[in-house]
Amino acid sequence: MSLDAVLARIDRDLDQSLERLFALLRIPSISTDPAYADNCRAAADWLAAELSGLGFSASVRPTEGHPMVVAHYPERDGTDNRVLFYGHYDVQPVDPLELWQSDPFEPRIATRDDGSKMIVARGAADDKGQLMTFVEAARAWIAETGGLPVAVTILFEGEEESGSKSLGPFLEANADELKAGAALVCDTGMWDKDTPAISTSLRGLVTEEVTVTAADKDLHSGLFGGAARNPNHVLAKILADLHDAGGRVTVPGFYEGVAELSDEVRRQWEGLDFSAEEFLGQVGLKLPAGESDRSVLEQIWARPTVEVNGMIGGYTGAGFKTVIPSKASAKVSFRLVGDQDPKTLVEAFHDFVRARIPEDCSVEFESHGASPALRIPADSPVLAKGKTALQDEWGVEPLMIGMGGSIPIVGAFRERLGMDTLLVGFGLDDDRIHSPNEKYEMSSFHKGIRSWARILGELAN
C-alpha cells in the first residue's frame, strides 16, 4: 500500500526532516521589525527553493510588506480539484533575550528526564515547525510515489505576526489562482500530547473605542467637584452595565445567532479531563467569572463575550493631580460566536452607550475592526476525512474543539475565496509561543508529518 510506504519513509527520514526545519528556524524572520526585512525575504526564498526542489511550481510574490510564497503541485491548469494549505514563515520578536536559555535562532533538541524530546527555538511551534510538517509529508509522498495523491496549492505569508496587512489585497488580486475545494490551516493545536484535535469553530472579533466628553477642559476638583460631570464616573457606570449579576451581557439582541452545543460536542467536552480550578490557577485565579450557568470550557470556546481591555481618564502619572478630566475613554472588545452579526452588534452597542450618556456629555466611537465567527459544518466532507486520518494515526478519536481566539485568514478564505477550512495543528498549550524558550514537541513534529500524510491520502479518496 502506498500510504504504508510513505509513512515508513517519514520515519526513516526524520533526521533529515529535522535538519531542514533547523535551517528554516535559523533565519530570524521577525516581521514586525523593519530591521529584519531581508531575513523575511530570505525565509520566503528558502521555502520557495525547497518547494521547487520537490517539483512544485513555486515563486516568491512581492507585496507592500513582506513577500508571499505561492506554490502549486501540479502546476495549475484550471481543471484540478485541489486543496490550499496555509502557514506563515514570520515569527515574533525574541525579547526579553536574557530569559532565553540558548540562542533563539540556533535551534536545539532538549531531552527531558523521561526521555521525551523537544525542539527549542523561536518559531519552533509558531509556525515554522507546524508548516514544515505539511511540507515534509508532501516530500514523502512525492519521493515514494512520484506525486501527491491530491492537487495542492501552498500559501505561506510573512506578516501573520504583524497584522497580515498585505494578505487581504493579495487574496483579492489572486483569488482565481488560490481558490480551491477546501483550505488546510496548521496554526492550531492538540488537546494534549496524545490527543489530536480539530478546531471546528473560531470566535469572531469586534474592537471598539469609546470616548466620553464632559467639560471643555480638565477641571480643578476642589472648585468643580460635585457640581461638574465626571466622564470617568459616566463611562465606568456604562461599562459596569454591560453585564448583569449572572455574567450575561445586557446589550439588547446580543445573543441573537448564538446556538447551543450539539450533543456530540457537548458529550466530548464533558468527558475531557479539564479542571477549571487548574486552568485559572495557572494565572493566579480560582473563581470562574462570566455566565454563571456555563462551564469554563463553554465560556472560552463557545460563548460570546464583552471585555474591557483598557480605560483611560484623567491624570495617570506619578504622584497625584486633583482634576476632573474632560474626557474618558475605554477600549472594548467583543468575541462573537455562531451567527452573531458584527455590524448589528456594533450598532446595538452604540445605542446601548448613547442611551446612558447624560444630556451635557457627548460620546464618540472609533472602530478598530470587526470579523464574524466561523464554524465548520458538522457534515463537512473534509472534516470527516480529517477525523478519520487523525484517528488512524493517533489511535484515539480526535476532539472537536472551539478556539477562543480568532484566525483572520480563516475568515478571509470563507469571505473572499468561498472555502471552508480544516484546522489541524500539533501545538500544545505549554509550547510558550510568543515567549522566551518557545518549543515544539518532537512527537508533534514527527506524528504531525505522519498525520498530514494520512490526511492527504484521505482527501484523495
The CATH number of residue 366's host domain is 3.30.70.360
Q: Specify the pLDDT at position 393.
A: 98
**C-alpha span between 227 and 306 (Å, rounded):** 32
Task: Identify whether residues 362 and 380 lie together within a single domain.
Answer: no
**C-beta neighbour count of 34 within 10 angstroms:** 9
Model pLDDT for residues 50-78, shown as the tens digit of each residue: 999 999 999 999 999 999 999 999 988 77
Task: Identify whether residues 334 and 434 lie together within a single domain.
Answer: no
Task: Identify whether residues 184 and 246 lie together within a single domain.
Answer: no
Q: Residue 146 to residues 48, 54, 85, 416, 457: CA-CA distances in angstroms?
A: 20, 10, 20, 33, 14
**What residue has cell string 507585496?**
63
Task: Identify whether residues 167 and 211 lie together within a single domain.
Answer: no
Judge whether 265 lies within some domain.
Answer: no
Judge whether 171 lies within some domain.
Answer: yes
Task: Identify whether residues 96 and 236 lie together within a single domain.
Answer: no
Tell me phi and psi for residue 68, to 5 degrees.
-100, 155
Domain limit, last residue, from 353, 371, 389: 371
pLDDT > 90? residue 415: no
Judge whether 279 lies within some domain.
Answer: no
Domain limit, last residue, from 371, 390, 424: 371
**CATH code of the domain in which 194 resides:** 3.40.630.10
Q: Which residues contact 105 (CB under 8 A, 6 or more apart)?
A: 25, 26, 27, 28, 94, 121, 122
pLDDT > 90? residue 12: yes
Q: Which residues contact 106 (CB under 8 A, 6 or more apart)?
A: 26, 121
Q: What is the mean pLDDT of the chain?
A: 95
> How many Cα neighbours within 13 Å face the side chain of 445?
30
Q: Specify the pLDDT at position 314.
A: 94
Judge whether 153 lies within some domain.
Answer: yes
**What residue has cell string 484523495?**
460
Q: Specify the pLDDT at position 230.
A: 98
Judge whether 338 lies within some domain.
Answer: yes
* Residue-by-residue DSSP string for 36-95: GHHHHHHHHHHHHHHHHHHT-EEEEE--SSSPEEEEEES---S---EEEEEEE--B----
Structurally, the chain folds into a number of domains equal to: 2
Q: Specify the pLDDT at position 134.
A: 98
Model pLDDT for residues 423-442, shown as the tens digit of each residue: 999 999 899 999 999 999 99
Task: Identify whether residues 319 and 176 lie together within a single domain.
Answer: no
Question: What does the angle CA 37 – CA 32 – CA 210 come to, to the nearest 5 degrees?
Answer: 150
Residue range 344-354: mean pLDDT, rounded: 98
**C-alpha span between 2 and 9 (Å, rounded):** 11
Q: Specify the pLDDT at position 319.
A: 95
Q: Specify the pLDDT at position 369.
A: 84
pLDDT > 80? residue 211: yes
Judge whether 264 lies within some domain.
Answer: no
Judge whether 237 lies within some domain.
Answer: yes
Lowest average pLDDT, out of 63-72, 347-356, 364-373, goes to: 364-373
Lowest average pLDDT, out of 69-83, 250-264, 284-298, 431-445, goes to: 69-83
**C-alpha span between 434 and 430 (Å, rounded):** 11
pLDDT > 90? residue 181: yes
Residue range 277-289: mean pLDDT, rounded: 92
**C-alpha span between 229 and 227 (Å, rounded):** 7
Residue range 351-379: mean pLDDT, rounded: 92
Domain limit, last residue, from 321, 353, 371: 371
Task: Identify whether residues 311 and 391 lie together within a single domain.
Answer: no
Q: Residue 360 has which C-alpha cell?
A: 451635557
Q: Residue 256 has which C-alpha cell?
A: 441573537
**C-alpha span between 460 and 389 (Å, rounded):** 12
CB-based contact 232:328 (threshold 8 Å): yes
Q: Give the sign of the dihedral formed by CA 142, CA 148, CA 149, CA 154.
A: positive
Q: Residue 121 has which C-alpha cell?
A: 527555538
Task: Identify whether residues 171 and 181 lie together within a single domain.
Answer: yes
Task: Identify whether residues 54 and 136 lie together within a single domain.
Answer: yes
Task: Identify whether residues 163 and 68 lie together within a single domain.
Answer: yes
> Which long-range contacts link 34-42 to residues 24+ away (Cβ below 8 Å)?
37/66, 40/66, 40/67, 40/89, 40/90, 40/158, 41/66, 41/67
pLDDT band for 79, please (50, 70, 90 cuts): low
CB-based contact 405:337 (threshold 8 Å): no
CB-based contact 189:427 (threshold 8 Å): yes
Residue range 210-218: mean pLDDT, rounded: 97
Tell me phi and psi for residue 153, to 5 degrees.
-115, 140
Which domain does 362 fall in, by range?
Answer: 204-258+304-371
Task: Identify whether residues 177 and 324 lie together within a single domain.
Answer: no
Task: Identify whether residues 367 and 382 lie together within a single domain.
Answer: no
Q: Specify the pLDDT at position 440.
A: 98
pLDDT > 90? residue 379: no
Judge whether 320 lies within some domain.
Answer: yes
pLDDT > 90? residue 20: yes
